Structure 1
Amino acid sequence: MTFQPRMTSRREGITLLEDLRWRRWNGAVADVWHAACSAGARGEYLSKDPRLFVVLERNGPCSDLKLSPNATEVVSGRQEFQLSYIPADMPLWSRTDEDMTIRHLDIHFDVSTLAVRLGEELDAERLATPRLRFSDERIMSLARMIAAECMDPDSHHELYGDGLMVALFIDLMQLGRTPPRKRGALAPWQLKRVTDFIEANCLRNIRLQELAELVELSQSYFSHAFKAATGLAPFQWHQQVRLKKVREMLANDGMTLTEIADAAGFADQAHLTRVFRRALGQTPGAWRRARAS
């Protein structure tokens, strides 16, 4: 399902000066707003997803920010403090006492997708901690390049903006390189469940996700654990079992090579021949003739 930012807002005295510019990447949506705020303008914002608010340009004084409508602690800012991280489900109020115009970038993060992409569980406490009006030169540089991609979506390859967004999120969450975890082999019951499944379904393509779900592991962890248990990657094991079935069918002189290729789930006879020769050093026909002689 495509990620959609889940944000509600109420604004008074704020007028958009340009159409919204936005981009979607795998794990985030970024949008650029250009607005005019009259004296006394105010806004109330609530998002179901964490977001980063970035002031790109401002003509006029900074607005005040607070995390509850009646809060006595108000976060006022200077021009150099242009970043604010707002956690999911945390309301934010803003107020401007004088006329101003502002261009800002909002990046809405899809945390579950980013955790999968980064291959690690994200720090829940860090995700839930607000950071209003802070300064970080590297994050700001990345944010400006992301905003440029929103303003001119045809300027670079899709992966360019995607890489910028992931780099910004890593910096924002202060994610460091984690040492690789030592992964053990599958337990005997897990290995039997998986190999029995492969045996029963070897004449069709089997997705790695199917095998991992059988033993309730991530695909990455499962691949390492399976190889630790068998010495082979899952697809190599599957291929060996499939070719064993092919050899059994070759022993049946009543089946042509075309029929065997079709029954074993290969695209055609040529595909079967390539795989068979690569694994066993000879063609299916040669194997059959050698067995008959």
Structure 2
Amino acid sequence: MAFHPHMQIKIQGLEVVENLRLKVFDGAIADLWDVKCEPYAHGEYVSHAPRLVVVMGQTGDGQMEIVADPGTRARADDRGNRLAFIPAGYKVWSRIDNLQNLSHLDVHFDTRSISKKLGDDFEPSAVDVPKLSFNDERIMALSRLVADECDAGTALHDLYGDSLICALFIALAGIKPKKIRHKGQLSAHHLRKAIEFLEDNFDAPVSLAELSSLTGLSPAYFCHSFKLTTGMPPHRWRMRVQVNRAKQQLEDPNLSLSSIAAATGFSDQAHFTRVFRKFTGTTPGAWRMNRDK
């Protein structure tokens, strides 16, 4: 299902003076607006997705304020700040004083897509806290690059824009890796994807190229990293999965050793016996007999 932010908006005193420039990324939708502001322009907004609002430029000596209560004003030390982060479902009001024109970028984040990329490092609570007025040079720099992509007649490769969105979200939410891993090891996210694939495909041949493609690493580097992380190469991990599945089936006395060998992906019963002995120290038949005692 395609991501859509589903904004609810009520505005007064604002007129779009240039066509909206919109860009769809993997992880966000960004739109760049240029508006003419009448005196006392204001608006009311709520979005079903978390979003970042960035003032890119303005004409006039005033400012745009974003507040959580229409009856309040921004604090004096917050006025002039150019960034606001608004969580999903959080209603805010804007007030624009003494501005003739305003250019702003809205970035609506698809947290479902981003969480898949960040894996265990993503914490949903990181996007639950509003920051309605702040400055951050790194976030501003990334926002300018995102705005350039919205404005560009011919955009660069999709990976460029998608990486910008991921970097922007990480900087905005202050996401850090939960576990420091040794150089060369697989991330928890990539390791989980590889192991799940081996578990799901234990009964069929799995190539190193298939596994490495899940992580974006080269086959050689993936193999090295997998062994460094787990203590065994991928093919041995797969054999261990096969042996564990075979043990489950050996508990059924009605299943023959040859049928178990075929069902768990071994080439024949002899191959099954060799691998099983390597991992357990005994043959499948002896293991079954000992289980029955």
1:2 aligns with 2:2: yes
User: Could you tell me whether the CA contact under 8 Å between 1:20 and 1:32 is conserved in 2?
Assistant: yes
What pairs with 1:1-293 in structure 2 (closer than 5 Å)?
A: 1-60=1-60, 61-70=62-71, 72-75=72-75, 77-79=78-80, 81-120=81-120, 122-179=122-179, 198-199=202-203, 202=204, 232-234=236-238, 244=267
SS in 2 for 1:120: helix
The structural deviation recorded for 1:19 is 0.9
Cα distance 1:198–1:91, how it changes in 2: closer, same or farther (>3 A)? same
Mapped partners of 2:99, 2:172: distance in 1: 31
User: Could you tell me whether the CA contact under 8 Å between 2:49 and 2:87 is conserved in 1?
Assistant: yes
> What amino acid maps onto 2:4 in structure 1?
Q
User: Could you tell me whether the CA contact under 8 Å between 2:6 and 2:47 is conserved in 1?
Assistant: yes
Cα distance 1:237–1:172, how it changes in 2: closer, same or farther (>3 A)? same
Partner of 1:215: none
Mapped partners of 2:29, 2:231: distance in 1: 37
The structural deviation recorded for 1:235 is 9.9
SS in 2 for 1:244: coil
The structural deviation recorded for 1:236 is 11
The structural deviation recorded for 1:21 is 0.6
| TM-align CA RMSD | 3.8
User: Could you tell me whether the CA contact under 8 Å between 2:10 and 2:45 is conserved in 1?
Assistant: yes
The structural deviation recorded for 1:172 is 0.7
Cα distance 1:6–1:233, how it changes in 2: closer, same or farther (>3 A)? farther
SS in 1 for 2:30: strand
* 5+ residue gaps, structure 1: 184-190, 209-222, 249-293
The structural deviation recorded for 1:124 is 3.7
- Alignment deviations for residues 12-60 of structure 1 (CA, whole Å, 9 cap, x no partner): 1110011111111111111101101100211001001110000000112
Partner of 2:192: none
Mapped partners of 2:84, 2:112: distance in 1: 21
User: Could you tell me whether the CA contact under 8 Å between 2:121 and 2:176 is conserved in 1?
Assistant: no
Cα distance 1:180–1:43, how it changes in 2: closer, same or farther (>3 A)? same
- Alignment deviations for residues 220-249 of structure 1 (CA, whole Å, 9 cap, x no partner): xxx9999979963559978x965717x99x
* 5+ residue gaps, structure 2: 182-186, 189-195, 212-225, 243-261, 272-293
The structural deviation recorded for 1:161 is 1.1
Mapped partners of 1:228, 1:175: distance in 2: 31
The structural deviation recorded for 1:125 is 3.5
User: Could you tell me whether the CA contact under 8 Å between 2:63 and 2:99 is conserved in 1?
Assistant: no
Cα distance 1:94–1:69, how it changes in 2: closer, same or farther (>3 A)? same
SS in 1 for 2:174: coil
SS in 2 for 1:132: strand
User: Could you tell me whether the CA contact under 8 Å between 1:29 and 1:109 is conserved in 2?
Assistant: yes
Question: What TM-score comes out, normalization by structure 2 length?
Answer: 0.63
Mapped partners of 1:235, 1:85: distance in 2: 49
Cα distance 1:237–1:244, how it changes in 2: closer, same or farther (>3 A)? farther
